[in-house]
């Protein structure tokens, strides 16, 4: 079996969720990620006859609105609006303010874990402990002073490639891909880091660390470079979910809106390009003979019919309803994203939703967040349980996340998220008012068009800003300068 090892083998659930995970992670990363050379054409589509130069200009000008970041931030604000309750045995309490041996508190560590899980669909926490030295410690005080203790470690979704589950539903083993960077030594300046792939296999009783051989030996591709005992008795990896798919895989929470966001990104680019063509129109020349010198980087010549001496010179620029059509499409996509992300059902324009229906929409959103909170609570409890196994501790562990999300709390988060979008010019004011009406934040009789008209009228009636009066002596000084000049 050892000769047949392929440690890059992917579990079917890992492979199935990879595309959505990568897409949502990239969209969360924003323009800095989607505009890189390796990803630009994945998200900003090139036209069939578009030149390389034109596409490069569009790529440089393109801006991706941070929709995924806004959605995740809104959900995080709800999930952690109240701090979780953590009741731990006396032996584990000292670790609350430093769960990872890097000074990170449990509050920060698990909030970060929840955020990563919502972005990628799943995020893993490894509960590990450094091996004890030969001969063990003289006493507990010596062990504490040495810093030997269990700790939590973030494991990104892309690192846990494969796993197997026993009949009891628990992990039998898992493969974690990681990297080792060689120490360049005291005189290693000017030399690039060398990263070496490693695969760590956790079982219920042991762990093995593999590295790939530079040259296979007798069909053997990998070599075990280290191994040890896993005294916890379980595979010490715990999954946290965005949207749970199976017991060990999940979907990103923004999966349903990812393609909408990509559409807006491309439509915004198209609109920007049309506006650029208006500002920099392309010249054209129609006549019997091609001009010898057309002093422009772009332009084209059309030969007129034989015998037709007519000559025409003009500028080619977009006209018609194209601008309005793209703007309306972008506006509709923005509203759909808000509707899906905030669990607001899109209504027909003539439909008026009852107060009970509006409350039901928010109940859907609340139920989604409560499910997420319940999952986080269960996963964190499991982390502390495994840490207790490393410590040989059997005391009671109680972790409770807030699940009381009333309408007022949800309203505040929704309003905050949408207001931020308006302030960032990512959501038109008209859409914002319409969303308030659809969600029941304002009465059904509220007239959006009338409200906007009233606002614009009141703005027009505002007096012009008063000129700042000149300070005594300034005019005289200016006059003196004029006379001197």
Which pLDDT tens digit goes with each residue over 411-445? Answer: 555 566 666 666 666 566 777 777 666 656 667 77
Whether 286 and 389 map to the same domain: the answer is no
In a domain, 417, yes or no: no
Looking at per-residue pLDDT, the higher value among 173 and 470 belongs to 173
Whether 169 and 102 map to the same domain: the answer is yes
Whether 32 and 71 map to the same domain: the answer is yes
In a domain, 38, yes or no: yes
Sheet with 220-229: list strands edge to edge. 160-165, 171-181, 195-203, 206-217, 220-229
**Cα–Cα distances in Å, from 58 out to 261, 276, 279, 395, 412?**
17, 10, 15, 61, 37
For the segment 272-301, the average pLDDT, to the nearest whole number, is 66
Domain tally, the chain: 2
Whether 172 and 288 map to the same domain: the answer is no
pTM value is: 0.75
Return the percent helix, strand and coil in the chain, to nearest 5: 45, 20, 35
Residue of 26, 39, 35 whose CA lies nearest to 59: 35
| Domain extent for 312 | 282-316
In a domain, 297, yes or no: yes
Cα separation, 438 vs 346, in Å, equals 8
Whether 12 and 83 map to the same domain: the answer is yes
Q: Which parts of 164-283 fold into alpha helices (H)?
A: 258-279
Whether 177 and 91 map to the same domain: the answer is yes
In a domain, 126, yes or no: yes
CA-based max dimension of the chain: 107
In a domain, 456, yes or no: no
In a domain, 99, yes or no: yes
Helix (H) or strand (E) holding 422: helix 407-423
Whether 205 and 300 map to the same domain: the answer is no
Answer whether 275's CB lies under 8 Å from 244's CB: no
In a domain, 271, yes or no: no
- The SS3 call for residue 469 is coil
**What's residue 169's pLDDT?**
93
Strands (E) in 288-375, as ranges, are: 300-303, 312-316
Whether 300 and 212 map to the same domain: the answer is no
Whether 152 and 296 map to the same domain: the answer is no
Whether 294 and 153 map to the same domain: the answer is no
First to last CA, the chain: 95
Close Cβ partners of 132 (under 8 Å, ≥ 6 residues apart): 143, 148
For the segment 277-304, the average pLDDT, to the nearest whole number, is 64
Question: pLDDT of 136-195, one tens digit each?
Answer: 655 555 555 556 789 999 999 999 999 999 999 999 999 999 999 888 888 888 888 888
In a domain, 238, yes or no: yes
Whether 300 and 163 map to the same domain: the answer is no
Cα separation, 371 vs 250, in Å, equals 13
Residue 342 has pLDDT above 60, yes or no: no
Whether 177 and 52 map to the same domain: the answer is yes
Task: Output the six-digit token pair for 84.
Answer: 């979780």
Question: pLDDT of 40-59, one tens digit each?
Answer: 999 999 988 888 998 999 99
Answer whether 352's CB lies under 8 Å from 444's CB: yes
């Amino acid at each position: 079996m050892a000769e047949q090892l392929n440690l890059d083998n992917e579990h079917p659930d890992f492979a199935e969720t990879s595309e959505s995970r990568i897409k949502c992670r990239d969209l969360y990363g924003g323009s800095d990620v989607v505009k890189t050379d390796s990803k630009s054409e994945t998200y900003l589509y090139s036209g069939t006859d578009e030149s390389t130069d034109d596409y490069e200009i569009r790529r440089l000008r393109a801006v991706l609105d941070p929709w995924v970041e806004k959605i995740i931030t809104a959900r995080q604000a709800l999930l952690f609006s109240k701090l979780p309750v953590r009741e731990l045995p006396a032996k584990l309490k000292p670790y609350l303010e430093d769960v990872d041996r890097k000074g990170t508190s449990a509050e920060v560590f698990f909030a970060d874990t929840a955020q990563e899980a919502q972005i990628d669909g799943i995020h893993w926490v490894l509960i590990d402990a450094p091996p004890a030295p030969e001969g063990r410690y003289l006493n507990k005080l010596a062990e504490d002073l040495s810093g030997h203790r269990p700790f939590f470690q973030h494991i990104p979704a892309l690192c846990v490639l494969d796993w197997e589950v026993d009949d009891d539903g628990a992990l039998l083993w898992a493969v974690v891909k990681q990297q080792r960077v060689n120490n360049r030594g005291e005189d290693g300046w000017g030399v690039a880091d060398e990263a070496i792939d490693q695969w760590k296999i956790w079982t219920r009783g042991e762990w093995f660390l593999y590295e790939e051989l530079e040259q296979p030996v007798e069909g053997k591709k990998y070599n075990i470079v280290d191994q040890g005992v896993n005294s916890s008795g379980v595979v010490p990896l715990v999954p946290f979910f965005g949207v749970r798919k199976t017991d060990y895989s999940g979907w990103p929470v923004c999966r349903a809106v990812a393609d909408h966001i990509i559409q807006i990104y491309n439509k915004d680019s198209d609109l920007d390009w049309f506006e650029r063509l208006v500002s920099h129109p392309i010249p054209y020349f129609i006549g019997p003979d091609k001009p010898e010198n057309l002093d422009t980087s772009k332009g084209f010549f059309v030969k007129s019919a034989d015998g037709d001496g007519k000559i025409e010179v003009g500028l080619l620029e977009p006209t018609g309803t194209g601008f309005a059509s793209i703007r309306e499409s972008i506006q509709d996509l923005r509203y759909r994203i808000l509707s899906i992300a905030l669990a607001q059902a899109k209504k027909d324009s003539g439909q008026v939703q009852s107060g009970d229906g509006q409350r039901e929409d928010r109940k859907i959103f609340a139920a989604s967040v409560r499910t997420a909170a319940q999952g986080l609570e269960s996963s964190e409890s499991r982390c502390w349980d495994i840490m207790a196994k490393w410590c040989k501790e059997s005391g009671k562990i109680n972790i409770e996340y807030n699940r009381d999300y009333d309408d007022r709390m949800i309203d505040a988060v929704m309003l905050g998220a949408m207001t931020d979008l308006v302030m960032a010019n990512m959501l038109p004011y008209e859409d914002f008012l319409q969303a308030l009406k659809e969600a029941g934040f304002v009465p059904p009789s509220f007239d959006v068009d009338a409200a906007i008209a009233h606002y614009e009228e009141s703005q027009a009636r505002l007096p012009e800003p008063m000129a700042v009066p000149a300070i005594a002596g300034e005019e005289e000084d200016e006059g003196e300068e004029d006379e001197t000049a």
